[in-house]
Amino acid sequence: MAIKHHWTKEEILAIYNKPFMELLYEAATVHRKHHDPNTVQVSTLLSIKTGGCPEDCGYCPQAARYHTDIEGNGLMSVNQVKAQALRAKSAGSSRVCMGAAWRNVKDGPEFDDVLEMVRTINKLDMEVCCTLGMLTENQAKRLEEAGLYAYNHNLDTSEEYYKEVISTRGYEDRLETLGNVRKTNVTVCSGGIIGMGESKEDRAGMLVALARLNPQPESVPINALVPVEGTPMEEQEPVPIWDMVRMVATTRIVMPETQVRLSAGRTNMSREGQAMCFFAGANSIFAGDKLLTTPNPDVSEDMLMFKDLGLNVQKPFEKHAQRKSVEKEEAKVEALGEKPKWSRPGHKIERNLEAQGKKVKA
């Protein structure tokens, strides 16, 4: 089945507001059609440059203008990053995501160091992701050449609510960065945060923006706000677990082939709550005691939870195997005279051979 991109806010709201058990069942059904329900991808998020960011994101303790307890530090060395990556690998992570508190990437020695970090982690047979702020097309290509697997750039919320969260960067700026990444073979990781005072309509609006991307993001992180003292959102109430499950389930239905990542806020969730999220379609988490600067469950706790739930850890580059099978299927389709509309890692090929009375043998 072709992936649907032209979702409306009303359609997504209708899914989000379904009776809870019905929503769970539908999401779990979609999940099992497209993914192994007992496999979860594990990533480690590493802050390679902390604090001092010139942006004014209302949720972020790394913004220089807010008075928080976050200790800033300059860019880590390549050897420090390698040591952290080895530690993450030994703990079961298949991916390292490196985050730097920059508004945008600037060409120069620091970016050169980041490129070397990407090359170094690649040699450890691990997937490498970066979240470095806004990115030009040329910078995206340089990251691709270094071996970057994924680039994270969250939309955060709906376009309508965005101005309530940040004023130093526009929504179009974020979409432009995602477009620059799409001009390479680097996969896209983009999601958002709930619990920032947004409405259900805003949550649906964010999913509309993500689902209309073609291809849809290979990974969509769903974060629950972790209020930090000193930020404008320090007084926000914690997100109810039911909202997290609904958001995960709706994301799974709207973007069936995407890996939905259960991200920030897991320290406030019970194991039972997280289990419901996995059942609803979440199949990726961040492991480690910190997500950049916010607390996160210890990796040993996660591994024990996986054991209790019968979940397996996804191997590094597992999606590459699927990419090869897609390329083979592309060749078969083209041999029959039907050119696929598009093809990206982790996505199936859109085609319409039935109208021609043709079939593609497995």
pLDDT tens sequence for the chain (362 residues) = 678 999 999 999 999 999 999 999 999 999 999 999 999 999 888 888 887 777 877 777 777 677 677 766 788 999 999 998 998 888 888 899 998 888 778 999 999 999 999 999 999 999 999 999 999 999 999 999 999 999 999 999 999 999 998 888 889 999 999 999 999 999 999 999 999 999 999 999 999 999 999 999 999 999 999 888 888 888 888 999 999 999 999 999 999 999 999 988 788 889 999 999 999 999 998 876 555 555 566 778 888 899 999 999 888 887 644 444 444 454 454 445 544 333 333 333 233 333 334 343 33
Non-local (6+) Cβ contacts of 15 within 8 A are 23, 26, 250, 253, 254
Question: Which two structure tokens, joined as six digits, stand for 196?
Answer: 């920032």
- CA distance linking residue 138 with residue 237, whole number of Å: 41
SS3 helix, strand, coil % of the chain, rounded to 5?
Answer: 40, 15, 45
Q: Tokens 């990251």 identify what position?
A: 143
Q: What is the pLDDT of residue 16?
A: 98
Task: Count how many Cα atoms sit within 13 Å of the Cα of residue 41 in the half-sphere of its side chain.
Answer: 27
Q: Which of 57, 182, 203, 266 is catalytic?
A: 57
Are the C-beta atoms of 285 and 245 separated by less than 8 Å? Answer: no
Which residue type is seen at 23? Answer: L
- Which two structure tokens, joined as six digits, stand for 268? 């406030």
Determine contact, residues 25/232, Cβ cutoff 8 Å.
no
CATH architecture entry for 9-316: Alpha-Beta Barrel (3.20)
Q: Which of 129, 182, 246, 277 is catalytic?
A: 129
| Helix residue ranges, H only, 258-317 | 271-279, 299-309
At which residue do the structure tokens 């209302």 appear? 58
Phi and psi of 107, rounded to 5°?
A: -65, 140
Q: Catalytic pick from 65, 174, 189, 212?
A: 189
Cβ-in-10-Å burial (0-12, 13-18, 19+) of 10 comes to exposed
Catalytic residue, chosen from 95, 174, 261, 344, is: 261
CB 126 within 8 A of CB 316: yes
Residue 114 CB-density burial (10 A; 0-12 exposed, 13-18 middle, 19+ buried): buried
Cα–Cα distance between 115 and 22 in angstroms, integer?
46
- Angle CA 263–253–285, to nearest 5: 20
57 is annotated as an active-site residue: yes
Cα gap 149→146, rounded to integer Å: 9
Model pLDDT, residue 320: 46
pLDDT of the residue at 67: 67
130 is catalytic: no
CA distance 91 to 359: 45
Look up residue 60 and give its two tokens.
């972020």
Active site residue 277: no
Q: Would residue 266 show up in a list of annotated catalytic residues for this protein?
A: no
The DSSP letter of residue 231 is S
> Would you state the structure tokens that stand for residue 42, as one six-digit string?
């594990």
Instruction: Please list the residue range(s) of the chain that carry CATH number 3.20.20.70.
Output: 9-316
CB 290 within 8 A of CB 228: no
Asked if 189 is an active-site residue, the reply is yes
Provide the sign of the torsion angle of the four alpha carbons 205, 98, 106, 187, taken in this order.
negative
